[in-house]
Amino acid sequence: MIKAGLGQAECVDTLNATRLAIGGCKEQMGHLIPQAGIVFACIDFDHRLMLDEIIRSFPGIDLIGCTTAGEFSSAYDFSDDSVALMVLYSDTIEISAGVGRNIPENPESVTKAAIHQAKKGLSQHPSLCLTFPEGHIRFPEMLLDTLTDELGHDCPVFGGRAGRYLDHLSKKTYTRQFFKNEILEDGLPLLLLAGPLEFGFSVDNSWQPVGRPTRVTASKGSTVMRIGDFKALDFYRHYLGKHTYPAVEFPLAVYEADGEHFYIRGISGYNEADGSITFLANVPEGAIVQLTEVIRDSIIESTGEGIQKLTQAYPGEKLAFALAFSCALRKYILGTQTPKELQLLKTHLPPHLPIIGFYSFGEFSPLARHHPSRFHNATLVSLL
């Protein structure tokens, strides 16, 4: 049995928001004492005050979380300025937290340290990993590769990179990660779940491939020099015309070896001199890619279809809770329709099911069951 308590509150005062979120959790948990918790919050709160109040209310809880580009839950709604908290209790599933610090110094050893710490709280092999690392790490695939190597292919990784709300008045881009009562920069907090856990998930790309599938003929890490016979920049201009910037609303679909499943790669910059484009994460040389396009209505439509298929295919007998990780780019394109993503989750999932999620700077999930976990852009990951 797994029991989830959920609370979310929007308030200019950190302590009031936190206490309201905690109150919602306690009301649902009753006499049960949670082992673990997940907290998402906007960047402008007093995070020290927030974490201290949560730890005071739930002593000994394995708490992880991060700042976001927007929070949402079935306890409240979508918000840019809230505290969203989920706490978890189980008498059959083990849950344990770990943390890695200073990712840029040595991503591999930092990731191993986080796993080693979390495994100390388990008596059996983990079956699921949740993580919310620093939002601006350069090579998220390196973290995923290490997580997969250490945890095994039978323990998929889900989550999203920490985010923050970006406004026109602030040039700050930092994010924060939370581990128990610690506030981190460049951190890797994670939860490992072990035991007889049933889960299902969906990956909604929404962006539709257009144009001719073409092989990446020269790339290094996240920088693509050539696609087919074109310089990468000329490839974009061949289809979209000569814009100064290579149209970020048309990211690349990068196909898996099966030629069916693909993940999205957003653009972060370009070099006019050599015609290369830098993406938000690695684009392997030799991969087949296509341009993609999207409109707001198709995001809403495909999201509803994906969630409906997920609930029909869920392998367990009873749902305990749902997590959702959506890309900040989806939020910016959806604009005033952003709350519809949560509404679709609530429409297609059972009434009163606890749902929590956030808008991230990139998402983690396999593309399908038994596939390796991938880093995604512009994607909604739903996990039951």
Report pLDDT digits (tens) over 296-325.
Answer: 888 888 888 888 888 877 777 789 999 999
Pairwise pLDDT comparison (316 vs 43), residue with the higher score: 43
What would the 3-class secondary structure string for the chain be?
Answer: CEEEEEEEEECCCHHHHHHHHHHHHHHHHCCCCCCEEEEEECCCCCHHHHHHHHHHHCCCCEEEEEECCCEEECCCCEECCEEEEEEEEECCCEEEEEEECCHHHCHHHHHHHHHHHHHCCCCCCEEEEEECCCCCCCCHHHHHHHHHHHHCCCCCEEEECCCCCCCCCCCCCCCCEEECCEEECCCEEEEEEECCCCCCEEEECCCEEEEEEEEEEEEECCEEEEECCEEHHHHHHHHHCCCCCCCCCCCEEEECCCCCCEEEECEEEEECCCCEEEECCCCCCCCEEEEEECCHHHHHHHHHHHHHHHHHHCCCCCCCCEEEEEEHHHHHHHHHHCCHHHHHHHHHCCCCCCEEEEEECCEEEECCCCCCEEEECCCEEEEC
Residue 336, number of CB atoms within 10 A of its CB? 7
Q: Which tokens in the block code for residue 333?
A: 């394109």
* pLDDT of 267 above 80: yes
Residue 169 clears pLDDT 90, i.e. is over it: no
Q: pLDDT at position 48, please?
A: 97
Q: What is the predicted pLDDT for the residue at 173?
A: 66
User: Which pLDDT value is given to residue 230?
Assistant: 94
**Ranges 17-31, 183-197, 367-381: which has the least confidence:** 367-381
pLDDT at residue 114, rounded to an integer: 96
Place of tokens 């918790």: 37
Q: pLDDT-derived band of residue 327, with 50, 70 and 90 as boundaries? A: very high
Q: What is the mean pLDDT of the chain?
A: 91
Please report the pLDDT score of residue 79 as a whole number: 94
Give the span between the Cα atoms of 180 and 115, in whole angstroms.
Answer: 16
| pLDDT for residue 59 | 96
pLDDT confidence of residue 289? 95
**Mean pLDDT in residue range 34-50:** 96
Mean pLDDT within 329-354 = 90
Measured distance CA(366)–CA(363) in Å, rounded: 10
Alpha carbon 40 to chain centroid, angstroms:
12
For residue 276, name the pLDDT band (cuts at 50, 70, 90): very high
> Higher pLDDT residue, 22 or 167?
22
Residue 209 predicted with pLDDT over 50? yes
Give the pLDDT score at 343: 93
Instruction: Calculate mean pLDDT across residues 239-254.
Output: 81
Using pLDDT thresholds of 50, 70 and 90, give the confidence band for residue 168: very low
**Percentage of residues of the chain with pLDDT beyond 90:** 71
Q: Worst-scoring range by mean pLDDT, 81-95, 235-249, 261-275?
A: 235-249
